[in-house]
Amino acid sequence: MFFKRFKKVFITFLTLFIIPINTLAYSNYIIAGGENIGISINSKGVLIIGKYSINGKNINNNLKNGDIITKINNKNINNIEDMTEILNNNDNINITYIRDNKEYTIKLELINENGIIKTGLYVKDNITGIGTLSFIDPNTKLYGALGHEVAEKNTGIILEVKDGKIFESTVTSIDRSSSGNPGSKEAILDSNKINGTIEKNTTNGIFGKYTDTIPNKHKYKVANPDNIKLGKAKILTVINNKNIKEYDINIIRINKKDNNNKNILFEITDKELLNKTGGIVQGMSGSPIIQDNFIIGAVNHVIVDSPTNGYGIFITKMLEEAEK
């Protein structure tokens, strides 16, 4: 009798208290990034990025750039080394690959040229580059960077992450932007000084756990898109060594209805930044945008024909993506 009565009370208690007030767990105050970071992503499977002829013959023409090889002879393929080992030890090869989210299996033609097994395929299993850290949530230790996806440059394919890391880098020089020609940061990478893992690669950025010591930096309040206004703001970024500096921008337009990640249109007004970079350069993606002591977004796109102008993504979009 006591058990039945307790059960009824317990169910009532749950009914009263398990209704979520807020489904999002990110903090109201987060650490703004600005640090230049190295990025390394290992893909799930091996990505085909090109083809070559062998003795004037093109083989395996049923495969296309962007196809992802996941299995050979029904064995999982995680990297190029796995693929090479199986190819060198088998004559009859069946490969399984992904195209447009569908799985196919076909026979792979091989040619033995002077003892070297050739497939006529150029493949890749890793991407390395640089970008800018956008934020760290000190409570969850989740971070976000870039504000856009990491895609393989030859195919435009967004790599599905097997694993990856962000790590320290030092900016050594700037290749300035000009109309029609976005510049870039040049940097030295130190892959031994790891800052965090990469667990997700999405159109809203790369995300993972920050595993290094959380920086003792100012925490900015997270701005709801309704708090953002036109006019003056700042970006935090590195254009020399590891020195994070604030640079002035002017917000021209705010797009709250845009379903992609081009939410904040801005122009760079800071004379120092314009003199050194000519505008937005590659590697600046992810630079946090600050307005009135709020973190409101992150730089993610340059307008190629007018590199003093660019776009940013709402920081709330990145925080929501980090938690999914």
Residue 155: Cβ within 10 Å count: 18
Residue 67 designated active-site: no
Which residue of the set 40, 134, 177, 285 is catalytic? 285
Rounded distance between C-alpha atoms, residue 306 and residue 213, angstroms: 38
Rounded distance between C-alpha atoms, residue 198 and residue 216, angstroms: 22
Which residue of the set 175, 248, 270, 292 is catalytic? 270
Which residue of the set 148, 169, 177, 287 is catalytic? 148
Residue 148 designated active-site: yes
Residue 127: Cβ within 10 Å count: 18
Let me know if 169 is exposed, middle or buried by CB neighbors in 10 A (0-12, 13-18, 19+): buried
Residue 91 designated active-site: no
Active site residues: 148, 270, 285
